[in-house]
């Protein structure tokens, strides 16, 4: 590894249902280099989403260490972590989670406006990124006026407006047909080049999984293959 951007060390995550523990992640070690696209595959329920959420700082660890850009995010306070996430990590989910009453460009602007209240700069930046995802002409449309693939492209634009360096995508094409999935894949691969992104991608799409630089298979909360 010459330039690790994500380092996961002996990560455990246990959920409790009342007193009953459910060990979901059971000792995961993974290092990802800057600029890599890593796909994460495995059977439903094996812990893929949990892994992304914990490594991305959306959910807490039970034990182990997570370093992103050499910083221990598992030791950060809630405030520091949310600031760190906002600047360093973009998330894309299976369902776009765009705000229905906001236009495409307003949705893209939001993560920027949470740390810098400059509407003019935000809308300028958002427009540039909408151009990158080829939706600048749809800037003033609301999510329900866009197709599933277009909604997902807006969600990707929103994920990168703060120039995060890392994208965590959890089944970003899970809701899309084959052709649209392929378009989303091409977009992510292009954005990787353009913005030097590192991408961790959970997917059930075999073609996408195979075209990643690395494919990591999870099984019962452990890495089975890398």
Interface residues toward ligand ADP, by CB under 6 A: 15, 22, 24, 42, 44-50
11 binds, among ligand ADP, Mg ion, none (CB under 5 to 8 A by kind): none
Q: Which element (helix H / strand E) includes 210?
A: helix 206-211
CB of 12 to ligand ADP, least distance (A): 13
Question: Token pair of 203, please?
Answer: 């997917």
CB of 83 to ligand ADP, least distance (A): 24
Nearer to ligand ADP, 45 or 206 (CB): 45
Q: How far apart are CA 104 and CA 117, in angstroms?
A: 19
Question: Token pair of 141, please?
Answer: 């449309």
The length of the chain is 226
CB of 25 to ligand ADP, least distance (A): 8
CB distance 221 to 188 below 8 Å = no
CB of 52 to Mg ion, least distance (A): 8
CA angle 142, 145, 150 (to 5 degrees): 90
45 binds, among ligand ADP, Mg ion, none (CB under 5 to 8 A by kind): ligand ADP
Q: Interface mask (CB under 5 A) for Mg ion, residues 16-55, using x and -?
A: --------------------------------xx------
CA distances from 168 to 16, 19, 58, 199 (A): 25, 31, 11, 6
CB of 177 to ligand ADP, least distance (A): 21
Point out the residue whose Cβ comes nearest to Mg ion.
49
15 binds, among Mg ion, ligand ADP, none (CB under 5 to 8 A by kind): ligand ADP
Beta bridge partners of 9: 65
Question: Token pair of 50, please?
Answer: 């949990």
């Amino acid at each position: 590894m010459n330039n690790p951007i994500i380092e996961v060390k002996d990560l455990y995550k246990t959920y409790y249902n009342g007193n009953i523990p459910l060990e979901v992640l059971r000792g995961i070690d993974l290092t990802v280099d800057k600029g890599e696209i890593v796909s994460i595959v495995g059977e439903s329920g094996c812990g893929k989403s949990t892994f992304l959420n914990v490594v991305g700082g959306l959910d807490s660890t039970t034990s182990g260490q997570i370093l992103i850009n050499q910083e221990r995010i598992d030791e950060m306070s809630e405030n520091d972590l949310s600031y760190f996430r906002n600047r360093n990590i973009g998330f894309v989910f299976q369902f776009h989670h765009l705000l229905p009453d906001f236009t495409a460009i307003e949705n893209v602007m939001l993560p920027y406006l949470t740390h810098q209240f400059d509407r003019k700069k935000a809308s300028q930046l958002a427009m540039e990124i909408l151009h990158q995802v080829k939706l600048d002409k749809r800037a003033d449309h609301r999510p329900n006026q866009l197709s599933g693939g277009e909604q997902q492209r807006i969600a990707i634009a929103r994920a990168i407006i703060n120039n995060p360096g890392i994208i965590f995508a959890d089944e970003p094409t899970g809701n899309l047909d084959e052709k649209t999935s392929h378009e989303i894949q091409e977009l992510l691969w292009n954005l990787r080049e353009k913005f030097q992104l590192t991408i961790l991608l959970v997917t059930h799409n075999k073609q996408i999984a195979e075209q990643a630089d690395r494919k990591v298979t999870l099984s019962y909360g452990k890495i089975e293959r890398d």
